[in-house]
């Protein structure tokens, strides 16, 4: 289950393109913009918590200056931070819990939002979700085996995660490449549905990898056009 913490009513937020952040996930960030340097100083001096929201690219097309976020985001805790000589910083943010963005409080000197914590619900019996977790683990192992450069490190990490909810969130963050799908998974509060959706995504990705391999034949990637 997601960590039980005291969720603040308001937090700073980074609105980032192509990043859907999840509870329990570890997100490395390089902080270089002046507004986010200011934010980080304030965060480190207080509760070390801020939110990461995925940029709503559809809404952003209408007004790029606004940086519209998706309305479901994730707050995280700064676990480690290293300041560089040039004033930038490298940090590691650990996801804490899903939140709904209720309002944008202000944008200066950095954006702050009013939030509400979102709790997941099992959606099915524990035994059913555990079964889906096991099935998901098998598909992840297969995908990594089929993928060029696939790492067993993620498989080893997930072996230690028994909770189906945490398992799904870590797997979605690290292994799903489709950002809109990741955002949908983030917004899905029903754990059973989240597991089923992730299983569907992985099956499709595996089928795509297998088809690509068949079409490619024995040619390396840089010579596939010769096939």
Q: State the SS3 of 26-73.
A: EEEEEECCHHHHHHHHHHHCCCCEEEEEEECHHHHCCCCCCCCECCEE
List the structure tokens of 142: 């297969």
**Spatial separation of the C-alpha atoms in residues 51 and 72, rounded to whole Å:** 10
Which domains are present in the chain? 10-117 (2.30.130.40), 126-216 (no CATH)
64 pLDDT band (50/70/90 cuts)? low
152 pLDDT band (50/70/90 cuts)? low
69-91, pLDDT tens digit by residue?
999 999 999 999 999 999 999 99
**Spatial separation of the C-alpha atoms in residues 2 and 87, rounded to whole Å:** 33
87-135, pLDDT tens digit by residue?
999 999 999 999 999 999 999 999 999 999 999 999 999 999 999 999 9
> Beta 10-16 vs 49-54: how paired, if at all?
parallel
Q: Tell me, what's the pLDDT at 4?
A: 56
Helix axes 191-216, 164-175, angle to 10 degrees: 40
187-216, pLDDT tens digit by residue?
999 999 999 999 999 999 888 888 877 786
Q: Tell me, what's the pLDDT at 221?
A: 53
The predicted model gives 2-25 an average pLDDT of: 88
CB proximity list for 190: less than 8 A, separation 6 or greater: 120, 121, 122, 123
The predicted model gives 147-161 an average pLDDT of: 75
**Could you tell me which residues are beta bridge partners of residue 12?**
112
Q: Tell me, what's the pLDDT at 227?
A: 44
Average pLDDT score, the chain: 90
| Vertex 19 angle, CA 12 and 129, to 5° | 105
**Spatial separation of the C-alpha atoms in residues 57 and 69, rounded to whole Å:** 9
């Amino acid at each position: 289950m997601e960590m039980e913490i005291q969720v603040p009513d308001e937090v700073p937020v980074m609105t980032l393109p192509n990043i859907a952040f999840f509870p329990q996930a570890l997100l490395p960030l390089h902080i270089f913009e002046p507004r986010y340097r200011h934010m980080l100083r304030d965060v480190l001096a207080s509760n070390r918590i801020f939110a990461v929201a995925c940029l709503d690219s559809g809404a952003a097309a209408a007004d790029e200056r606004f940086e519209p976020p998706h309305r479901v985001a994730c707050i995280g805790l700064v676990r480690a931070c290293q300041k560089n000589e040039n004033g930038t910083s490298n940090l590691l943010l650990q996801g804490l819990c899903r939140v709904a963005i209720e309002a944008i409080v202000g944008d200066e000197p950095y954006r702050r939002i009013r939030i509400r914590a979102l709790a997941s619900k099992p959606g099915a019996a524990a035994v059913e979700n555990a079964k889906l977790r096991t099935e998901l683990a098998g598909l992840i192992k297969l995908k990594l085996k089929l993928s060029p450069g696939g790492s067993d490190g993620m498989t080893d990490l997930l072996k230690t995660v028994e909770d189906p909810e945490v398992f799904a969130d870590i797997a979605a963050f690290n292994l799903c490449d489709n950002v809109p799908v990741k955002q949908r998974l983030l917004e899905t509060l029903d754990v059973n549905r989240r597991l089923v959706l992730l299983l569907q995504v992985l099956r499709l990705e595996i089928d795509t990898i297998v088809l690509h391999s068949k079409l490619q034949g024995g040619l390396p990637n840089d010579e596939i056009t010769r096939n």
